[in-house]
Amino acid sequence: MSSRHDFIRALRREPVTRRPVWLMRQAGRYLPEYRALRQHAGGFLDLLKNPDNACEVTLQPVRRFDLDAAILFADILTIPDAMGLGLEFVAGRGPLFRRSISRLTEARALPVPDPQTDLAYVLDTVKIVTQELDGRLPLIGFAGGPWTLAAYMLEGGGGAREFPRARAVVNAQPELVEVLAAKLVPATIAYLLAQARAGAEALMLFESWAGLLAPEGFRRHVLAPLEEIVTVVKADPAAQDKPMILFAKGAGQHAAALGGLGAEALGVDWTVSLADVRRATNNHVALQGNLDPAALLAPEDALRAAVRAVIADFGPGPGHVFNLGHGVTPDVDPERVGALVDEVHGAPV
Ligand code: CP3
């Protein structure tokens, strides 16, 4: 079934009326209206777990800018939180879990959350947002990749320190990562399918810490679980016509393997050339990306030139969704985002 949304059409590598664009972290701290609502609500988790707040934050960027998709306001760590790890956000430290996983017995004892009950707040947000959007824009649902979730669960927190504990486990006790994946894969499949049933029109997997792994670990802990998720999700009538996007940050050298997993599109970070990824994937998948997020900190004419360079790098033909190579940072002037969107839409398709 063909879509009238350029975003969905581009993911299927169909012709578009203009090049679609949305930005990772398009909702967030660079928007004054986000900061105001977060302060009013109490904190990030109070936005996340309250569907009316999460809906409002989802819609803030699409009201302000002519974006081609909305992304559900949630977090990849909702699944480990629903498994009982106790998610917290400490200002300046990023995400933390009250409990981390260090033993096989702990990993084996983790429950696989039922999205209908344990993640009902996310599904309620998807329903409310879908109602509010009323078909004007497609909504992207998402989940974290199993390796990235496992890295946070093993580390207890992470980010700034590059996950030394999680990487030690990969080398010393890889079966612990696999036991976590055996929980996270079915949890993620159920979560994505529930989002699709609730109204999400595209599904994205964020494997943000894929770049930490050596090639063998990448095959075992990134490619294998992602392939299982994509295969099962795609086989379900609820998601058959919902394009999937795989974003494995720092994994440019694995583009051919990622492109063969069955998803319609790959998200690409800014460290690789879209033309190279297109060649590596034989032009069989759509690409989403890949402007350096720091380009949003440059003067407007330099930003516009950088946008044109990404578009030129992709080259002719359908199958490009413009995005950053990672998320919008809090120090960005919202006016730059407006200029970016304007430049993308003004470019020939
Ligand atoms: O606009 C959107 O992109 C949708 C919402 C979204 C958030 N997190 C909101 C958020 C999405 C898609 C995510 C995914 C996510 N969360 C990822 C994958 C993408 C990536 O960035 O690589 C990861 C690794 C996380 C885990 C996470 N959540 C981290 C590391 C942090 C802290 C980092 C930071 O920017 O402070 C968060 C918090 C978070 N998630 C914020 C937002 C808007 C900032 C919260 C705040 O302080 O208000």
Residues with Cβ within 8 Å of 38's Cβ and at least 6 positions away in sequence, in order, are: 29, 44, 46, 47
Q: Is 64 part of the annotated catalytic residue set?
A: no
Whether residue 1 is contained in a domain is answered as: no
Residues with Cβ within 8 Å of 275's Cβ and at least 6 positions away in sequence, in order, are: 313, 314, 315
DSSP state of 237: T
- pTM more than 0.75: yes
**Domain count across the chain:** 1
Closest residue by Cα to residue 138 from 200, 67, 61: 200
- 3-state SS assignment for residue 288: strand
Question: What does pLDDT average to over the chain?
Answer: 97
Distance CA 286, CA 271 (A): 18
pLDDT in tens, 108-141: 999 999 999 999 999 999 999 999 999 999 999 9
Q: Which has more pLDDT, 304 or 2?
A: 304
Whether residue 310 is contained in a domain is answered as: yes
pLDDT in tens, 264-280: 999 999 999 999 999 99
pLDDT in tens, 269-310: 999 999 999 999 999 999 999 999 999 999 999 999 999 999
Counting DSSP H helices and E strands in the chain, the numbers are: 17, 9
Q: Is the pLDDT of residue 159 over 90?
A: no
Distance 296 CA to ligand 1 centre (A): 18
Residues of the domain holding 38:
6-346
**pLDDT confidence of 1, banded at 50, 70, 90?**
low
Give the H/E segment covering residue 78.
helix 78-80
Distance CA 287, CA 277 (A): 8
- Whichever domain contains 17, its CATH number is 3.20.20.210
Average pLDDT over residues 65-84: 98
Pocket of ligand 1 (CB under 6 A): 24-29, 38, 44, 71, 73, 75-77, 94-95, 142, 159, 206, 208, 327
Q: Is 75 part of the annotated catalytic residue set?
A: yes
Whole-number pLDDT of residue 90: 86
Average pLDDT over residues 186-214: 98
Q: Is the pLDDT of residue 160 over 80?
A: no
Q: Is 25 part of the annotated catalytic residue set?
A: yes
